[in-house]
Amino acid sequence: MKGDVCVIVNPASGRGRGAQTLPKLREAFAAVGVSDIRVTAAQHDEAAFARQAIADGRTTIVAVGGDGTISNIANAIIASGSDARLGMIAAGTGNDFYKTVGAPARDIPATAQLAVDGPDLRVDVGRIEDKHFLNVTGFGFDMAVLEDVQTIGWLSGPLLYNYSALRQLLFYKGVGIDMSSAAGPRRQAHHLMLIIANCRHFGGTFRIAPDALLNDGKLDAVSFHDATPLRRLRLFAAAIAGTHPMQPEVQVERSDRFTLRFAQPPAYEIDGEYNRASSAELEVRCVPRAIRVVTPGSAAAR
């Protein structure tokens, strides 16, 4: 399988952390007989690189970067109709997906060995408009934080998300969302934030959907209804611990699809990447067992 592995590196991920991994990366993959390492030069190159790797006959593609890089490569694999496996090495800011899937994504030699001869797990993904997400899609406060993160240059990693989130706790005004699902009736509420999650972790620190499973054919919609700044702060702390579903302002619903209606086409994120919707009504659905992920353990039980 050595000749069937391609490694795609986003050197800009994690504010340069991707580039810093290159010497160790080349050494670790050379040790298992893999030399096909492709380094992106511009934003979103990774999807084009993944499509080319599939065309070249690669059957395992290792993404080196953050959740956005991993998601872009996963989208390319799914869109191509390929059954290529997705491996990952964490070099981003949040690095949420690998925590749920159970991959040793900070251990480069272990990941290199798994890419060559390790097992894999077939997992669900979410879909919104024409895009797939591995981890989450988010609306409201989540987007305000994502936009704020881009303005801060003196922090990185989980501290960056935490600082931005605390800043937005005081200023974000919330958003009205009308939501319905296959499992429940239509309801309208003013939200602080709505996260529809495939995985458990989010933003580097938060256990946003503590009971989410990767291969149950369902997504978890976590609704944070608006609250005072003090209550927002308590919700923020509870989300770090994963105890927020017990708070009165939080509602969790599990379904294979959700329909969302807004006053106007909203901004939203998928796996940390900014998007602007083309319509004020959106469907978010689960695509069961859509991709194979290289991992030594069973994420279904995590």
Q: Which two tokens stand for residue 200?
A: 């458990």
Please give the Cα distance from 102 to 269 (Å, whole number): 23
pLDDT at 298 over 60: no
Q: Summarize pLDDT for 170-198 with one digit per residue, the tens.
A: 888 899 999 999 877 778 899 999 999 99
Q: Summarize pLDDT for 251-274 with one digit per residue, the tens.
A: 999 999 999 999 999 999 999 888
**Do 102 and 221 belong to one domain?**
no
In the listed set 66, 83, 118, which residue is the last one of a domain according to the structure? 118
- Inside any domain, residue 123: no
Strands 201-202, 206-207: pairing kind: antiparallel
**Do 284 and 145 belong to one domain?**
yes
**Do 114 and 141 belong to one domain?**
no
Amino acid at the residue 196: I
**Do 140 and 87 belong to one domain?**
no
**Do 109 and 142 belong to one domain?**
no
Please give the Cα distance from 125 to 78 (Å, whole number): 10
Confidence of residue 8 (pLDDT cuts 50, 70, 90): very high
Output 196 or 93, whichever has higher pLDDT.
196
Confidence of residue 43 (pLDDT cuts 50, 70, 90): confident
Domain of 257 in residue numbering reads as 133-288
All residues at 6 or more sequence positions from 74 whose CB lies less than 8 Å from its CB, including other chains: 63, 86, 125, 132, 134, 291
Q: Which two tokens stand for residue 58?
A: 């690669």
Alpha helices in 150-288 (DSSP H): 157-171, 229-241
Confidence of residue 300 (pLDDT cuts 50, 70, 90): very low
Q: Residue 179's beta-bridge partner residues?
A: 187, 260
Please give the Cα distance from 141 to 123 (Å, whole number): 28
**Do 112 and 151 belong to one domain?**
no
> Cα 183–187–189 angle (5° rounding)?
135
Instruction: Please give the model's pTM, rounded to 2 decimal places.
Output: 0.90
Amino acid at the residue 236: F
Say how many C-beta atoms besides its own lie within 10 A of residue 281's C-beta.
11
**Count of structural domains, the chain:** 2
Please give the Cα distance from 138 to 125 (Å, whole number): 15
What CATH number does residue 109 fall under? 3.40.50.10330
Residue with tokens 């279904």: 300
What CATH number does residue 184 fall under? 2.60.200.40
**Do 153 and 106 belong to one domain?**
no
